Chain A
Amino acid sequence: MQDRPTSTELLEAACEAFTGALLPEFSGEKRYVALMVANALAIVARDLRTSTQSLKQERKRLQELLSLPSSEIANSDALRDEVEALNRELASEIRAGAFDAPGETREGLKTHLLETTREKLCASNPKHLETEGKSE
């Protein structure tokens, strides 16, 4: 087992140092690049905190939607492959019209897709979620 800090803790410290001490020193094109680097680091820090949990939740919902038995693979690479395979199946069901009719099945799919998209945005751009629905 690695000594502390964990990857997440170390990355968050690097993020803070970069944003606090370095970013204000840049201007023009360099500032634009620096902002992108800060954004990428922040996304990865949030990914590290949430991605395994999100993937497990997504897998559970997909297995329910596709009427498949639940599985317990926890290794993160295998988990990603498993969720990708489930998503591939879901996409092909959508294309085949399995969710066309109004009703519980359709609403169940919409709820799942919304939760999955929100989980992605929680890591990629949480600010975007805050503004959701404010225009309508």
Chain B
Amino acid sequence: MGVTEPASQARLETFLADACQANSATILGLQPLTGGAVQENWRLDVALEGGAYEGEQAWVLRITAPAMIPDSHSREQEFAILKVMEAERIAAPKAHFLCRDAGVLGREFFIMERLPGIAAGHRLVRDKNLDGETLTKRLAQELGRIHAIRPPREDLTFLKMPEPTPALEMVARFRTQLEAEADSHPVLDWALRWMALNAPAPQAIVLCHWDFRTGNYLVEAGAFTGLLDWEFANWGDPMEDVGWFCAKCWRFGENAREAGGIGPRALFYRAYEESSGLFIDPIAVHFWEVAAHLRWGLIALQQCARHLSGTLPSLELALTGRLAAEMELEILALVDRADKGRL
């Protein structure tokens, strides 16, 4: 059942009219938004007659993709996380309506606010008019505010506490994924062994976004407007998000700007410490950067496997398999730097 089929659109209009307590809902536009290999995002324009949402609304419809990546939340859970972000005044799209009924569009979906701006990382890091330092500080502040959300939370009971520690849980998860691979990958085993021997203890357990990186936030006229893609958010070590953000694989080639390809690492660290009240532990960040490249390397292998198995034949996924070696090169450099005590 395709989202754009006339019958689907008619059912969607009925759902929206009910959800908004409107007399009627008319879809003015429904186009796929680029980005998001895991979920499908649609740009949705609706005209409503009557009810609290009367008038024209600019929304995003976020629906579960047919092929899911392990560890991601359901739309219902992601909807609940966005509600918490709204309550905590974190810059993220406001979640409006959840639809669990697969009879409407075939899969679970929700409707959320459409924030202005672009997310495309490769465009953002090369934008000469962008004030990268201001943006770096702003992002660090927001991350610090997200990390102020701590367990236990009545509204986030579906999130699991990492056991025995975030780092060791990650090692176990990566080991399972690596063992499931058909071919052997000695560099990834090397990364995993190093992680098992160098796992840091967390200074606190906080809400981690787990995909906090350039390409997942929106920027409009140089200003940060919101953080997207909350499908992996979970309790974890705050340094996980810092390591992921600074990892070389998320700098889009702008390697000298170590904070997400947009600004200096030291500036990001300083603003984060001020905002979060936590301290940056460079050894822990280094650990999570190794973890970041191992995670990306495993995703590359899994994406390629989706093509090879025929689950989702695609040249893009096939080519992704060849990206694993880029992650391996960085893993080797990071472990060597740790061996030489240069952290």
Which residues in A have some Cβ–Cβ distance to B below 8 Å? 33, 36-37, 39-40, 43, 84, 87-88, 90-91, 94-95, 97, 99-100, 102, 106, 109-110, 113-114, 116-118, 120-121, 124-125, 128-129, 131-136
Q: What is the chain B residue whose CB lies nearest that of A65?
A: B186
Contact of A114 among B193, B258, B332 (CB under 8 A): B332
Distance, CA A116 to CA B325, complexed state (A):
9
Distance, CA A125 to CA B329, complexed state (A):
12
Distance, CA A113 to CA B190, complexed state (A):
9
A36 and B316: CB pair below 8 A? yes
Distance, CA A97 to CA B255, complexed state (A):
33
Distance, CA A37 to CA B333, complexed state (A):
31
Given contacts A106-B339, A117-B328, 19 further A-B contacts (CB under 8 A): A40-B319, A43-B319, A87-B184, A90-B186, A91-B189, A94-B190, A97-B193, A109-B190, A113-B328, A114-B329, A114-B332, A117-B187, A118-B329, A120-B328, A121-B325, A124-B322, A124-B325, A124-B326, A125-B326
Q: What is the chain B residue whose CB lies nearest that of A39?
A: B319
B325 and A84: CB pair below 8 A? no
Q: List 21 A-B contacts (CB under 8 A).
A: A36-B319, A87-B183, A87-B186, A88-B184, A91-B189, A95-B189, A95-B193, A100-B197, A106-B339, A110-B335, A113-B186, A114-B329, A117-B187, A117-B328, A117-B329, A120-B328, A121-B326, A125-B323, A129-B329, A134-B255, A135-B256
State the total of A-B contacts with C-beta under 8 angstroms.
87
Query: For the complex, is B56 an interface residue (Cβ under 8 Å from A)?
Result: no
Query: For the complex, is B3 an interface residue (Cβ under 8 Å from A)?
Result: no
Q: Known contacts A36-B316, A90-B186; decide if A128 and B326 are in contact (CB<8 Å).
A: yes
Q: Report the 6 A-B pairs with minimum CB-CB distance, sorted nearest first.
A: A135-B255, A124-B322, A120-B325, A91-B189, A88-B184, A87-B184
Number of interface residues of B (CB under 8 A): 31
Q: What is the chain B residue whose CB lies nearest that of A107?
A: B339
B255 and A131: CB pair below 8 A? yes
Query: For the complex, is B336 an interface residue (Cβ under 8 Å from A)?
Result: yes
Q: How far is the CB of A35 from chain B (nearest CB, A)?
A: 10
Report B183-204 CB contacts with A as 1/0, cut-off 8 Å. 1111101101100010000000
Query: For the complex, is B1 an interface residue (Cβ under 8 Å from A)?
Result: no
Q: Known contacts A40-B315, A134-B255; decide if A113 and B322 are in contact (CB<8 Å).
A: no
**Which chain B residues lie closer than 8 Å to A131 at the CB level?**
253, 255
B255 and A84: CB pair below 8 A? no
Which residues in B have some Cβ–Cβ distance to A below 8 Å? 183-187, 189-190, 192-193, 197, 248, 251, 253, 255-256, 258, 315-316, 318-319, 322-323, 325-326, 328-329, 332-333, 335-336, 339
**Which chain B residues lie closer than 8 Å to A37 at the CB level?**
315
Distance, CA A1 to CA B183, complexed state (A):
33
A135 and B336: CB pair below 8 A? no
Distance, CA A95 to CA B186, complexed state (A):
9
Q: How far is the CB of B129 from chain A (nearest CB, A)?
A: 23
Q: Known contacts A121-B325, A131-B255; decide if A113 and B187 are in contact (CB<8 Å).
A: yes
**Which chain B residues lie closer than 8 Å to A102 at the CB level?**
339
Distance, CA A40 to CA B253, complexed state (A):
20
Distance, CA A88 to CA B197, complexed state (A):
21
A125 and B184: CB pair below 8 A? no
Q: Known contacts A97-B193, A100-B193; decide if A117 and B315 are in contact (CB<8 Å).
A: no
Q: What is the chain B residue whose CB lies nearest that of A94?
A: B189
**Which chain B residues lie closer than 8 Å to A87 at the CB level?**
183-186
**Which chain B residues lie closer than 8 Å to A116 at the CB level?**
186-187
